[in-house]
């Protein structure tokens, strides 16, 4: 298969985005001026048992990032190295929230450098107000009926609310208060 030439002004930001959070959106918004185009690549990741389908996660990411004209959202179900090569991307964007993320992200960056030496990994940190937000925490808070207003785009909040209302068992007669 013929690969396009490497474009250092094209970046890929991969993740499961289950759901996309304001922290993810912050990273994309801050990276957008640095690149001609950013592809937010939503991984299938069926082994992680995501709460939303791939298509739902793509739709929610598109809604959350709609105000960024040079950002494209697409799904993928292959090795990231394959996607990056097919796109001709020269940069992989990864977010670091805390020092604890670094070891795992460093390992991924090293492996990606081996698999796709033409692509560099760029680490970005979220704004302080988003540094504690993770998709798994947001899912848990949302599932338990907590307020996730400051953590996700309103469309994501609405989708989560609808998802958890559907999954909540009938609790008539149960009084835990």
Question: What pLDDT, on the 0 to 100 scale, is given for residue 8?
Answer: 92
Q: What is residue 3's DSSP assignment?
A: P
Among residues 79, 138, 137, which one has the least CA distance to residue 112? 79
Q: Confidence band (pLDDT; 50, 70, 90) for 101?
A: confident
Annotated binding site for ATP: 16-17, 24, 95-97, 105, 130-136
**Structure-block tokens of residue 114:** 């081996």
> Is the pLDDT reported for residue 172 higher than 50?
no
| CA gap 62, 9 in Å, rounded | 21
**What are residue 89's DSSP bridge partners?**
7
Annotated binding site for substrate: 16, 48, 80, 94
Max Cα–Cα distance, the chain, nearest Å: 64
The DSSP H or E segment spanning 92 is strand 89-95
| CA gap 8, 134 in Å, rounded | 28
Residue 59: CB atoms within 10 Å: 17
Q: How confident is the model over 121-145, as a mean pLDDT?
A: 91
> Is the pLDDT reported for residue 159 higher than 90?
yes
Annotated binding site: 16-17, 24, 48, 80, 94-97, 105, 130-136
Question: What pLDDT, on the 0 to 100 scale, is given for residue 170?
Answer: 45
The set of catalytic residues is: 24, 48, 97, 135
> Is the pLDDT reported for residue 171 higher than 80?
no
- The alpha-carbon radius of gyration of the chain (Å, integer) is 17
**Structure-block tokens of residue 57:** 């996660």
Domain 7-131 belongs in CATH node 3.40.50.300:
no
């Amino acid at each position: 298969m013929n690969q396009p030439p490497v474009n250092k002004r094209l970046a890929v930001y991969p993740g499961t985005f289950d759901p996309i959070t304001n922290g993810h959106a912050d990273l994309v918004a801050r990276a957008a001026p640095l690149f001609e185009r950013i592809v937010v690549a939503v991984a299938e990741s069926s082994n992680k048992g995501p709460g939303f389908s791939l298509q739902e996660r793509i739709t929610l990411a598109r809604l959350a990032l709609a105000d960024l004209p040079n950002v494209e959202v697409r799904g993928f179900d292959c090795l990231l190295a394959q996607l990056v090569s097919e796109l001709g991307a020269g940069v992989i964007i990864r977010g670091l929230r805390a020092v604890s993320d670094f070891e795992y992200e460093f390992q991924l960056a090293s492996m990606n450098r081996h698999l796709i030496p033409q692509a560099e990994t760029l680490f970005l940190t979220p704004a302080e107000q988003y540094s504690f937000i993770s998709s798994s925490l947001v899912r848990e808070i949302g599932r338990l009926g907590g307020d996730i207003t400051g953590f996700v785009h309103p469309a994501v909040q609405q989708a989560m609310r609808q998802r958890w209302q559907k999954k909540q068992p009938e609790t008539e007669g149960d009084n835990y208060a």
